[in-house]
Structure 1
Amino acid sequence: MNRIDRLTAILTHLQSKRTIRASELAARFEVSLRTIYRDVRSLEESGVPIIGEAGQGYSLVEGYRLPPIMFSREEALSMLVAEKLVEKSLGEESSKHFKEALIKIKAVLKTSEKDLLVEVQDTIKVLKSNPSQMMNKSSKAFQTILEAISEKKVLSTAYMTFDPELRSERELESIGMFQSYDQWYLMAFCRLRNDYRTFRLDRFSHLRLTEISYSTTKHPSLQSYLDKISGERKLHQIVLEVPDGSMKYLVNSKYNNGFVSEKKVGELTEMTFMNSSIEGFVRWIITLGDMVVVKRPAVLQNRLAELIEEIKERQG
């Protein structure tokens, strides 16, 4: 960050808080305290009314306001993602206040950024959100994919499939992203398979934006694609009983397996899942050993019994 950008950012920080310490600014911009002191002095000399209180920090004179802040394309897109997540993660009242605040922020965007948000807002969906989970390593791919969607540029990728684990090189025409529980997915037209595919963001080992453009008019919308796959995939309702002492082992992994709800039944917790793959689910359950009991469906109970017998035979 050059000095002009840093001075502007310091002004933004001063307006965002009542007071801010020089040490906070130094840590934020990864510069020395001496550099921050010089920057503040430069701002004062340019006419910005900054108050410095010993032991307290810096603040702007009450009533002083900066001109409208200019956001970059990346920052504008990040606001859109935050809006989608908050809508699912917060209660109705808090979500309402957040949206109202965001409208005020959007009001200072440049026309090009406003147009960009309108254009890409339907390419990002949050289906099921788990507020306790932070975005994992998929965040490394997130910004590159947002850029590909907004600029309609082909992505050159390296992707690791789940079963079997194979690495393949793919060129993708991005249609949109969606989140389900704690995983983000990309829906794209795969030029290798000549068909539409869904990719988990954390399974990309390489992502590069190419200069090859494509038209979205020939592709379905993200929502229509989601409606299509949800209709094609038969979802199984799965109910497990878990002793209280074993719940801690399912806290993180349950969201990767279609967790829907849970309720207390005496000293047990009854957990409900919706999952399209009996085979994938039973192989997760078997890693939990004696910590869970499958209540239904019967097809899962039977497959679990079969798998246990197969393991016994293989072990001799």
Structure 2
Amino acid sequence: MSQLSRLIAILTLLKSKRLLTANELAKKFDVSIRTIYRDIRKLEEAGVPVTTIEGRGYSLMDGYSVAPVQFTEKQANALITAELLVNQSKDASFVENFNEALTKIKSVFRTSIQEKSELLQSKIHVFNPTYENISSNALSEIQLAITNFNYVEINYCKANDTDVSFRKIEPYAMYSTQYKWILIAWCHLRQDYRAFRIDRIQHYKILQETFEDRKFDLQAYFQSCPYNKK
């Protein structure tokens, strides 16, 4: 990769991520950290407002914008494929927000890329052999609660159980398996972390009240593997 191509790629990454370290960039482009330092200086000399956060990494000044990104055909195809997979999700809010975002992305496709992506879309189908007619519409709101540390109140119904229980939870993380989204949260009823299938949340309310971060570690949680707790 030429230096110019790498500079453009670094700028794109900085625009797409809040903070990047020199070590991350060096690994990404398979160059030395010293080379990254030189690249950052080149961007600064070109007038790009790169902010160095001591001991943490690089960021772009708030409000800085770059020219629209051009997508390659392979990159456009990857997005079209992702759209088909996302549309298999059982959460309406997630599907709606993804498709709205993708519409904005597609708006910068070159005409030739748009035509080919539409052709590819007509030639791909995703089958779901484990279809289950249960859906939800809470994923997008719960994601906001995770990142803003808001308490959530839910009415929850476990599998093969008609009883609905009320829970006040601290949402921390989520994962997807077999087209179902699982929320990991601290449950005040059980005084422990619990896994909740989002499509089994009957009703929910995002509270304005915020909780103190318990420094939940998703990897450590998976290692302890309490999958069946509800």
TM-score band, normalised by shorter chain: 0.5 to 0.7
Residue 4 of structure 1 and its aligned partner are, at CA, apart by 1.5
Residue number in structure 1 paired with 2:45? 45
SS in 1 for 2:128: strand
Residue number in structure 1 paired with 2:186? none
Residue number in structure 1 paired with 2:71? 71
Higher RCO (C-alpha under 8 Å, 6+ residues apart):
2
Residue 129 of structure 1 and its aligned partner are, at CA, apart by 7.0
Residue 61 of structure 1 and its aligned partner are, at CA, apart by 1.0
Q: Distance in 1 between matches of 2:11 and 2:86?
A: 27
SS in 2 for 1:13: helix
Structure 1 stretches of 4+ with a deviation exceeding 6 A read none
Residue number in structure 1 paired with 2:62? 62
Residue number in structure 2 paired with 1:12? 12
Whether the 8 Å contact between 1:80 and 1:121 is mirrored in structure 2 is yes
Whether the 8 Å contact between 1:7 and 1:43 is mirrored in structure 2 is yes
Q: Residue 35 and residue 129 in structure 1: after superposition, are their counterparts in 2 closer, same or farther (change >3 A)?
A: farther
Q: Distance in 2 between matches of 1:48 and 1:90?
A: 42
Supply the AA of the counterpart residue of 2:108: V
Q: Distance in 1 between matches of 2:103 and 2:58?
A: 29
SS in 2 for 1:27: helix
TM-score (norm 1): 0.40
SS in 2 for 1:80: helix
Residue segments in structure 2 that go unaligned for 5+ positions in a row: 131-177, 179-230
SS in 2 for 1:126: coil
Deviations 1:191-234 (A, max 9, x none): xxxxxxxxxxxxxxxxxxxxxxxxxxxxxxxxxxxxxxxxxxxx
Q: Distance in 1 between matches of 2:2 and 2:91?
A: 40
Supply the AA of the counterpart residue of 2:53: E
SS in 2 for 1:128: coil
Whether the 8 Å contact between 1:10 and 1:25 is mirrored in structure 2 is yes
Residue number in structure 2 paired with 1:35? 35
Q: Distance in 2 between matches of 1:9 and 1:123?
A: 31
Residue number in structure 1 paired with 2:25? 25
Residue 90 of structure 1 and its aligned partner are, at CA, apart by 5.0
Q: Distance in 2 between matches of 1:45 and 1:109?
A: 30
Residue 64 of structure 1 and its aligned partner are, at CA, apart by 0.4
How many residues in Structure 1 have an aligned counterpart in Structure 2? 131
Q: Distance in 2 between matches of 1:43 and 1:116?
A: 34
Whether the 8 Å contact between 1:88 and 1:129 is mirrored in structure 2 is no
Supply the AA of the counterpart residue of 1:71: F
SS in 2 for 1:123: coil
Q: Residue 70 and residue 90 in structure 1: after superposition, are their counterparts in 2 closer, same or farther (change >3 A)?
A: farther
Whether the 8 Å contact between 1:84 and 1:126 is mirrored in structure 2 is yes
Q: Residue 129 and residue 73 in structure 1: after superposition, are their counterparts in 2 closer, same or farther (change >3 A)?
A: farther
Whether the 8 Å contact between 1:85 and 1:129 is mirrored in structure 2 is no
Supply the AA of the counterpart residue of 1:72: T
Residue number in structure 2 paired with 1:93? 93
TM-score (norm 2): 0.54
Q: Distance in 1 between matches of 2:41 and 2:86?
A: 39
Alignment of 1:1-316 (within 5 A): 1-128=1-128
Deviations 1:102-122 (A, max 9, x none): 111111111111111122211
Residue 31 of structure 1 and its aligned partner are, at CA, apart by 1.2
* Greater Rg over alpha carbons, structure: 1
Q: Distance in 2 between matches of 1:129 and 1:64?
A: 46
Residue 128 of structure 1 and its aligned partner are, at CA, apart by 1.1
Residue segments in structure 1 that go unaligned for 5+ positions in a row: 131-254, 256-316
CA RMSD for the aligned pairs?
1.6
